[in-house]
Amino acid sequence: MVVHLVANQSTRVRFPLPAPQFFVLLQGKTMELNASHSFHQILPWLAFSKPADQWLESMRGQTIEAQLESRRITKVCVEEMISTAAIGIGKDNNLTVYFNYYGTSLQDCIESLGHEIGHTFHYDLSKTPPIKITDDDRDEKLLYIIEDFCNLFSLKWIMVNDKKEIERCCKKAGVRFHNNS
Ligand SMILES: [Zn+2]
């Protein structure tokens, strides 16, 4: 599987991205990668690249629920909102992943759950509630890089998991599926 990294393309313009190919903003470079590249190789300057690599490796064979718990995602639920999915601080001061109430395709749902888990890596999970460790509110470029990180994270996460298990977890959360592709 090949992932193309192309610089200077806005994440907002190209979101949602078709799997398995998508683009990553990367400081003026175009790189061709295969899925065996680690985040540390791709984004060595990003503080959470190595933790993400290590986490993905350590989660092989774990249940989806155990994986969510290890990222302090204590709840996955359905909410009235327009995006496919989002993550936020829940009432219990842990993280909650939200899916939209009107449904999504199975593939979008699976990719979105991986994407939202990716977002947990720019939070300090040792704090209650978890605290964001990136300055993406002030640095728009970093915001795009984080989105690309999460898209790539999702692809890698799906590769170390059984899609049927992810589907089961999403169904359990009450997500409705359109056109079961
Ligand atoms: Zn995102």
Ligand 1: centre distance to CA 167 (Å): 20
Does CATH number 1.10.10 belong to domain 47-178? yes
Least confident window among 65-69, 118-122, 130-134: 130-134
22 vs 10: CA distance, rounded Å: 12
Distance 161 CA to ligand 1 centre (A): 20
Cβ atoms of 23 and 6 within 8 Å: the answer is yes
Indicate whether this model's pTM tops 0.75: yes
Residue 48 neighbours by CB under 8 Å, 6+ apart = 39, 121, 122, 133, 149
Tokens of 117: 């888990």
Q: Residue 2: is its pLDDT beyond 50?
A: no
Separation of CA 20 and ligand 1 centre (Å): 17
User: What percent of the chain has a predicted confidence (pLDDT) above 70?
Assistant: 79
Q: Are strands 85-89 and 95-100 parallel, antiparallel or unpaired?
A: antiparallel
Q: Are 149 and 26 in contact (CB under 8 A)?
A: no
Quick check: 170 and 113 in contact, CB under 8 A?
yes
Q: Which residues contact 137 (CB under 8 A, 6 or more apart)?
A: 143
